[in-house]
Amino acid sequence: MSGARHLYVHLPFCAARCGYCDFVTVVGREGRHDEYVDALIAELALERGALSEPLDTVFLGGGTPTFTEPGALQRLLRALPGCEELTVEANPETVTPELASLLAAEGVTRVSLGAQSFQPHLLETLERRASPDVVRRAFYHFRDASFDNISLDLIYGIPGQSTADLERDIDEALALAPEHLSWYELEAKPGTRFTHAHGDELARQSEEMEDYFERVVDRMTGAGYRWYETANFCLMPTRDGDRDLRSRHNLGYWLGRDYLGLGIGAVSTVGARRWRNTPRLGVYLEALANGERPLREVEDLSAEVKREERVMLGLRLDEGVLLADATDAIDVRALDRLVAADLVSVGPANGAPPALILTGRGRRLGDGVTAELLA
């Protein structure tokens, strides 16, 4: 094994926790940003052997990476190994012209802006701090700093979101002409504060919202975006020179490549081993201050599990999963059924080797299709 060519760095700090969020985040404790960056740099030093440099991609996710105190953020960016795609996630209310310039100057090639919605009442439901104007302004700050690869994160299926609300969000997002869009369905986890507050409303609306995903896909593909992954869209190369605007970092996950994750709650997969760092800030900081690896939850991945994950993730892509990679993991009788039901097709994608590719309807029913294929 030559080592991981993808690096994820988790910056957990946020000004406030949004009700629907289930990522590892830390609210308050501004004073510890520097200390945390020190720990990240220390962890990188401990794990550097697992990396194969130069790296393909680095991704700073959160939390709110752009909420990190600018000096600390800059110090981190300078300490990271070089790579071809360096993405930073940003929350609109933290984006200033100065921050945009700082990121550009430090070699960031791609930003992912957490817009979520452009409707004030929906942003309020999500407990987001930015107004629609702040979202748009943030986008232009990045453009002004000459970012030419901007992604917008949007959410559909928000309690109280009507079909007209969704259409307006799609219009507003397209109006900004981002290179890339991620559309996530809101996941209301049972037992959370958010579900407690909005679960009934969501249940009431579930029938109405059933076609939101279909609408999003139709509008995106109609506007010239490539539906390259279940929830992700990028401008077609024809519309934007020869650039492949898919998220190279996330493709790494979806293609089953190795990646190293740094920071609290971060996951790494290298070879047959996956581990997840402790989500507890104090525990993490203390270990690295002592030059030790943080507490981790380790999972050994059998060849069977690896194969299954390959299919599970690969089927989310428009290019599908290579038949050669899938044959040992799938139930062939189920495949016949699913092909007959026009949910899966088998064929060479653009002259490439044969692959299992979900049809449009198959992709919308992707979880069920995958469960049946792998059963």
Question: What is the contact surface with other proteins in residues (CB under 8 A)?
Answer: 8, 23, 61, 183-185, 187, 210-211, 213-214, 230-231, 250, 253-254, 259, 261, 266-269, 274, 276, 299, 305, 308-309, 312-313, 316, 337, 341, 343, 363-372, 374-375
Specify the 3-state DSSP secondary structure of 158.
coil
The full DSSP string for 293-333 is PPPEEEEEPPHHHHHHHHHHHHTTBTT-EEHHHHTTTS-HH
Specify the 3-state DSSP secondary structure of 14.
strand
Pick from 209, 155, 142: which is nearest to 182 by CA?
155
For residues 275 and 354, which CB has a smaller minimum distance to other proteins in the complex? 275
Q: Which residues contact 162 (CB under 8 A, 6 or more apart)?
A: 208
For residues 108 and 329, which CB has a smaller minimum distance to other proteins in the complex? 329
> Using the 8-state DSSP alphabet, how is residue 147 labeled?
-
Q: How far is the CB of 187 from other proteins (least distance, A)?
A: 6
Q: How far is the CB of 182 from other proteins (least distance, A)?
A: 8
Q: How far is the CB of 165 from other proteins (least distance, A)?
A: 18
Long-range contacts of 194-202 (CB under 8 A, 24+ apart): 194/19, 194/20, 197/19, 198/125, 198/159, 201/159, 201/160, 202/157, 202/159
For residues 141 and 364, which CB has a smaller minimum distance to other proteins in the complex? 364
Q: How far is the CB of 186 from other proteins (least distance, A)?
A: 9
Pick from 117, 63, 55, 66: which is nearest to 88 by CA?
66
Q: How far is the CB of 353 from other proteins (least distance, A)?
A: 24
Name residue 219's amino acid.
R
Q: How far is the CB of 369 from other proteins (least distance, A)?
A: 7
For residues 98 and 162, which CB has a smaller minimum distance to other proteins in the complex? 162
For residues 130 and 312, which CB has a smaller minimum distance to other proteins in the complex? 312
For residues 245 and 313, which CB has a smaller minimum distance to other proteins in the complex? 313
Q: Which residue has the tokens 């992954």?
A: 229
Please, what is the angle between helix 281-289 and helix 33-47, to 10°? 60
For residues 93 and 308, which CB has a smaller minimum distance to other proteins in the complex? 308
For residues 102 and 216, which CB has a smaller minimum distance to other proteins in the complex? 216
Contact between 75 and 68 (Cβ < 8 Å): no
HSE value, Cβ hemisphere, 13 Å, CA-based, for 341: 15
Q: How far is the CB of 316 from other proteins (least distance, A)?
A: 6
C-alpha 70/C-alpha 76 separation (Å) is: 10
Q: How far is the CB of 302 from other proteins (least distance, A)?
A: 12
Q: How far is the CB of 289 from other proteins (least distance, A)?
A: 25
For residues 219 and 274, which CB has a smaller minimum distance to other proteins in the complex? 274
For residues 171 and 214, which CB has a smaller minimum distance to other proteins in the complex? 214
Contact between 326 and 337 (Cβ < 8 Å): no
Q: How far is the CB of 181 from other proteins (least distance, A)?
A: 12
Q: Which residue has the tokens 């996951």?
A: 267
Specify the 3-state DSSP secondary structure of 291.
coil
Pick from 132, 188, 192, 131: which is nearest to 160 by CA?
188
